[in-house]
Chain A
């Protein structure tokens, strides 16, 4: 009994760091996941537009452009999926994104600010998608989450590499 207790305790304590936006309960509806994912897409695309304009480093600029493309594509797929599954998404989650003033007003430190925001943002996004891909109940949405994951993970690795370069100069 004691052994089992210790194993359970150890398992509990290994549930390491949590994402900045704590994750939805897997029992929560697919709708919540799609809302979070949609906001993520739109915010990434929006920030990417700023980066494409303002970034000084070519790799940051290029990353921004990739964000615009990849997340606009992802958003289209997501909206189709939502329609198919008859899941209505509130308008706050599907449009009207105002650019982040912190990035908009950034001067010489734009690249740094943007890269740091992207590292944290993508970490959160990967966790959100992993959570639904593993624990979600709606099979179509679960499949979508699983499909998007490799790209999202690649984004995360990419931006982490840029971050490392930024810091090592």
Chain B
């Protein structure tokens, strides 16, 4: 009797394991007459060239920084499509530029993978940010909105402090916010413009990582959004492109520096992605209308198509990836 009780208790404690074990075994025995048809859960594959709208797009300039909710078409950040599977359960993430574009796609994906998320954005992007906060909360995760200007060192420090205290910790940083202004000639680049680009794209990530480091436990992940521009810059993106090269480079140097601390640092290098960056001065008017037409898929990427990269680089099972740059550019562009 006693031994039966012990076995029962052991089974109860290991209950989950045995249930899973049973589930794994079942299909083999049920092969011939299973009521669960494997084809029901098959992943649908589709032709990437037809997944999203192709250019030409309407001429639609907006003043910087631009709202994606006003774009036509509105960028797809995975709002209706991204399905998580607990890959980031309990993680705590800070994402800059999390109101729109790839930052938004990462925020939505992280929340759906079980993470609590703090997003930073420029104050006038509040309408876009509200949508993201609502989507994170819908997943039952903590959603923290921290608007502010990344060009200010004091704000960057406050940003990290607020994220750490409201999330109750921090183990993922996505330095994604970027300033991109297309200017045909270096003689037309003002010092103010150059400075704004450097501050947003190079200084802010530096200030944020430096402030956050004492709080990041081993196993944390830092991700920087770089670009194919780091490898083959466009002539009209003199200021922006060099910041993307700098990002690609800091990913590699910090990966070396922080590797012994168990902190992984990686980068994402998108090709042309349809975001508010491109309609708020980031591309020349003709290029904006034909955006992405030069890729092998005949269209720009949508932020949703990069979300899984941000998840992958943050996930703990990517434990050997550090100093890597993962590209996504529709068949053209490096890496």
CB of B63 within 8 A of CB of A101, answer yes
Docked Cα-Cα span, A71 to B185, in Å, equals: 24
Docked Cα-Cα span, A97 to B286, in Å, equals: 10
Chain B residues in 8 Å Cβ range of A97? 59, 285
Give A1-57 interface residues, CB cut-off 8 Å to B. 20-24, 32, 35-36, 39-40, 43, 47
Secondary structure at chain B's binding surface: helix, strand, loop or mixed?
A: loop
A119 adjacent to chain B (CB < 8 Å): yes
Docked Cα-Cα span, A20 to B284, in Å, equals: 10
A124 CB, min distance to chain B CBs, angstroms = 7
Chain A residues in 8 Å Cβ range of B287? 20-21
Which of B105-113, B141-149, B241-249, B289-297 faces chain A? B289-297
A58 adjacent to chain B (CB < 8 Å): no
B140 adjacent to chain A (CB < 8 Å): no
Assuming the contacts A35-B56, A98-B59, A101-B281, asked whether A120 and B235 have C-beta atoms less than 8 A apart, the reply is: yes
CB of B284 within 8 A of CB of A112, answer no
Nearest A residue (CB) for B60: A98
A63 CB, min distance to chain B CBs, angstroms = 16
Assuming the contacts A39-B56, A98-B59, asked whether A21 and B285 have C-beta atoms less than 8 A apart, the reply is: no
Nearest B residue (CB) for A38: B56
CB of A96 within 8 A of CB of B59, answer yes
Docked Cα-Cα span, A30 to B56, in Å, equals: 14
Assuming the contacts A32-B293, A36-B290, asked whether A20 and B234 have C-beta atoms less than 8 A apart, the reply is: yes
Chain A residues in 8 Å Cβ range of B305? none
Docked Cα-Cα span, A169 to B63, in Å, equals: 32
Docked Cα-Cα span, A101 to B184, in Å, equals: 14
CB of B56 within 8 A of CB of A21, answer no
How many chain A residues touch B (Cβ–Cβ < 8 Å)?
Answer: 32
B17 CB, min distance to chain A CBs, angstroms = 55
Q: Specify which of B55, B57, B58, B184 is in contact with A117 (CB 8 Å cutoff).
A: B184
Docked Cα-Cα span, A20 to B283, in Å, equals: 10
B287 CB, min distance to chain A CBs, angstroms = 5
Contact with B along A93-128 (1 / 0, CB 8 A): 100111111100000010011001101110010000
Mind listing 18 A-B residue pairs with CB under 8 Å? A20-B235, A21-B290, A21-B294, A35-B290, A36-B293, A39-B56, A43-B289, A47-B285, A92-B57, A97-B285, A98-B59, A101-B61, A112-B188, A116-B185, A117-B284, A119-B184, A120-B236, A167-B187
